[in-house]
Amino acid sequence: MPLPTALTQRLGISHPIIQAPMAGGSDTPALVAAVGEAGGLGTVGAAYLAPAQILDAAKSVREKTRRPFGINLFSPLPAPTPPKDYTAAIAQLASYFADLGLPAPTPPGPPAYSFDDQMAAVLESGATVFSFAFASVPAATLAAAKARGMTVIGTATTVEEAVALEKLGVDAVAAQGSEAGGHRGSFAQPFEDAMIGTMALVPQTVDAVRVPVIAAGGIMDGRGIAAAFALGASAVQMGTAFLTCDEAGPPEAHKQAILNAREHETRITRAFSGRPARGIVNRVMTDLADAEIPEFPLQNALTRPMRTAAGKAGKADYLSLWAGQGLRMARRQKAGDLVQKLVKETEEALGRLG
Amino acid sequence: MPLPTALTQRLGISHPIIQAPMAGGSDTPALVAAVGEAGGLGTVGAAYLAPAQILDAAKSVREKTRRPFGINLFSPLPAPTPPKDYTAAIAQLASYFADLGLPAPTPPGPPAYSFDDQMAAVLESGATVFSFAFASVPAATLAAAKARGMTVIGTATTVEEAVALEKLGVDAVAAQGSEAGGHRGSFAQPFEDAMIGTMALVPQTVDAVRVPVIAAGGIMDGRGIAAAFALGASAVQMGTAFLTCDEAGPPEAHKQAILNAREHETRITRAFSGRPARGIVNRVMTDLADAEIPEFPLQNALTRPMRTAAGKAGKADYLSLWAGQGLRMARRQKAGDLVQKLVKETEEALGRLG
| Helix (H), strand (E) at residue B64 | helix B51-64
Cβ <8 Å between A263 and B207:
no
Please count the helices (runs of H) and the strands (runs of E) in chain B. Answer: 14, 11
Question: Cα A28 to chain center, whole Å?
Answer: 13
CB-based contact (8 Å) between B350 and chain A? yes
Q: Give the one of A189, A197, A229 whose C-beta lies nearest to B197's C-beta.
A: A197
- Count of CB pairs separated by less than 8 Å, A with B: 177
**pLDDT computed for residue A23 by the predictor:** 87
For position A51, what pLDDT does the model report?
Answer: 98
User: Is pLDDT above 80 for B341?
Assistant: yes
CA distance B225 to chain A (A): 9
User: Contact A224/B218, CB-based, under 8 Å?
Assistant: no
Tell me how far apart the alpha carbons of residues B40 and B30 are, in angstroms, rounded to a whole number: 14
First to last CA, chain B: 14
Q: Please answer yes or no on whether A326 and B350 come within 8 Å at the CB atom.
A: no
Q: Please report the pLDDT score of residue A1 as a whole number.
A: 56
Phi, psi of B43 (to 5 degrees): -135, 130
- Strand pairing report for A172-176 and B266-269: unpaired
Q: Residue B206 belongs to what H/E stretch?
A: helix B198-208
Q: Is B342 helix (H, G, I), strand (E, B) or coil?
A: helix
Average pLDDT by stretches of 10, chain A with 354 residues? 79 97 94 98 97 98 98 94 95 98 95 96 98 92 97 98 97 98 94 96 98 98 98 98 98 98 98 98 98 97 97 98 98 98 96 86
- Strand locations in B213-338 (E): 213-216, 235-238, 266-269, 277-280
Is residue B291 very low, low, confident or very high in pLDDT (cuts 50, 70, 90)?
very high
Residue B21 three-state SS: coil
Torsion angle, CA of A228/A233/A235/A240, rounded to 10 degrees? Answer: -40
> Residue A2: how many CB atoms within 10 A of its CB?
12
Sketch out chain B's domains with CATH numbers.
1-76+114-247+334-354 (3.20.20.70), 80-110+251-328 (no CATH)
Q: Which of A1, A184, A199 to mutate to test the interface with B (most CBs of B within 10 A)?
A: A199
Q: Taking 90 as the threshold, does the pLDDT of residue B227 lie above it?
A: yes
What value does the CA radius of gyration of chain A take, rounded to a whole number of Å?
A: 19
Look at residues B167, B133, B100, B150 and name the one whose alpha carbon lies nearest to residue B239: B133
What pLDDT, on the 0 to 100 scale, is given for residue B354?
75
* ipTM metric: 0.97
Residues of chain B contacting A204 with CB distance shorter than 8 Å: 263, 326, 328-329
The reply to whether omega before B68 is within 30° of 0 (cis) is no
Average pLDDT over residues B77-81: 92
Task: Give the whole-angstrom CA distance, residue A260 versus residue A269.
Answer: 20
Is the omega angle on the peptide bond into residue A103 within 30 degrees of 0, that is, cis?
no
| Pairwise CB contact (< 8 Å): B197 & A194 | no
Distance (Å, whole) CA B231 – CA A316? 31
Q: How far apart (Å, rounded) are the C-alpha atoms in residues A119 and B43?
A: 56
A314: left (phi over 0), alpha (psi -120 to 50) or beta: left
**Are residues A339 and A275 in contact, defined by beta-carbon separation less than 8 angstroms?**
no
Q: How distant is the alpha carbon of residue A314 from its chain centre? A: 22
Which residues, at least 6 apart from A284, have a Cβ–Cβ distance to it below 8 Å? A96, A271, A272, A303, A317, A318
Q: A228: which chain B residues are within 8 Å (Cβ-Cβ)?
A: 199, 227
Min distance B254 CA to chain A CA atoms (Å)? 20
Question: DSSP 3-state assignment of B183?
Answer: strand
3-state helix/strand/coil string of chain A = CCCCCHHHHHHCCCCCEEECCCCCCCCCHHHHHHHHHCCCEEEEECCCCCHHHHHHHHHHHHHHCCCCEEEEEECCCCCCCCCCCCHHHHHHHHHHHHHCCCCCCCCCCCCCCCHHHHHHHHHHCCCCEEEEECCCCCHHHHHHHHHCCCEEEEEECCHHHHHHHHHHCCCEEEEECCCCCEECCCCCCCHHHHCCCHHHHHHHHHHHCCCCEEEECCCCCHHHHHHHHHCCCCEEEECHHHHCECCCCCCHHHHHHHHHCCCCCEEEECCCCCCCEEEECCHHHHHCCCCCCCCCCHHHHHHHHHHHHHHHHCCHHHCCCECCCCHHHCCCECHHHHHHHHHHHHHHHHHHHC
Percentage of the residues of chain B whose pLDDT score is greater than 70: 99
The secondary structure of residue B91, as a DSSP letter, is H
Q: Taking the CB of residue B55, how many other CB atoms lie within 10 A of it? A: 18
Mean pLDDT of chain B: 96
- The model's pLDDT over B165-181, given as tens digits with 9 standing for 90+, comes to 999 999 999 999 999 99
Q: Residue A67 carries which side chain, given as an amino acid letter?
A: R
Identify all chain A residues contacting B159, using CB atoms and an 8 Å cutoff.
262-264, 328
- Residue B206 reports pLDDT greater than 70: yes
Q: Which residues contact B214 (CB under 8 A, 6 or more apart)?
A: B7, B18, B153, B172, B173, B174, B175, B233, B234, B235, B236, B237
DSSP H or E stretch at residue B132: strand B129-133
Mutation site, B163, B225, B264, interface A, largest A CB count within 10 A = B264
Chain-centre distance of CA A350, in angstroms? 27
List Cβ neighbours of B1 (8 Å cut-off, separation of 6 or more): B14, B15, B16, B343, B346, B347
Which residues, 6+ apart, have CB-to-CB distance to A292 below 8 Å?
A: A83, A88, A89
Q: Does A163 touch chain B (CB under 8 A)?
A: no
pLDDT at A5: 83
Residue-wise pLDDT tens digits, A23-33? 888 999 999 99
Q: What residues 47-66 of chain B have any CB closer than 8 A to a CB of chain A? A: none
Q: Which residues contact B257 (CB under 8 A, 6 or more apart)?
A: B280, B282, B316, B319, B321, B323
> For residue A240, which residues of chain B lie inside 8 Å, CB to CB?
none
Residues A154, A146, A117, A248: is their CA dihedral positive or negative? positive
- Residue A178 has a pLDDT of 98
- How far apart (Å, rounded) are the C-alpha atoms in residues B133 and B148? 20
A38 touches chain B (CB under 8 A): no
- Which of these, A265, A316, A266, A268, lies nearest to A289 by C-alpha position? A268
Gap between the Cα atoms of B353 and A242, Å rounded: 25
Q: Note whether A284 and A317 are within 8 A (CB).
A: yes
Chain B contacts of A324, Cβ < 8 Å? Answer: 200
Q: Name the pLDDT band for B29 (thresholds 50, 70, 90).
A: very high
| 3-state SS assignment for residue B74 | strand
Is residue B175 a contact partner of residue B184, using CB atoms and an 8 Å limit? no
- In angstroms, the Cα distances linking B317 to A50, B155, B165 are 50, 29, 37
* Neighbouring residues of B61: CB distance < 8 A, sequence distance ≥ 6: B29, B32, B33, B36, B42, B44, B69
Continuous segment of H or E residues that includes residue B72:
strand B69-74
Of A160, A207, A223, the CB nearest to B231: A223
pLDDT at A280: 98
Check if the beta carbon of residue A123 is closer than 8 Å to that of residue A66: no
Q: For residue B3, is pLDDT > 90?
A: no
Contact of A240 with A323, CB cutoff 8 Å: yes
- Residues of chain B contacting A207 with CB distance shorter than 8 Å: 328-329
- Does A40 contact B at CB distance below 8 Å? no
In chain B, which among 125-144 make CB contacts under 8 A with chain A? Answer: none
Is a pLDDT exceeding 70 seen at residue B94? yes
Chain A positions in Cβ-Cβ contact with residue B179 (cut-off 8 Å):
196-197, 199-200
Mutation pick from B5, B159, B199, B262 vs chain A, by most beta carbons of A within 10 Å, is: B199
Give the number of other Cβ atoms within 10 Å of residue B47's Cβ: 22
Give the β-pairing of A172-176 and A213-216: parallel
- Amino acid, single-letter form, for residue A295: E
Report pLDDT digits (tens) over A69-119. Answer: 999 999 999 999 999 999 999 999 999 999 999 999 999 999 999 999 999
The pLDDT score that the predictor gives to residue A339 is 98
Instruction: Say which of A193, A221, A325 has its CB closest to residue B264.
Output: A193
Cβ contact, residue pair B227, A199, below 8 Å: yes
pLDDT tens digits along A2-12 = 566 899 999 99
Q: How far apart are CA B78 and CA B135, in angstroms?
A: 10
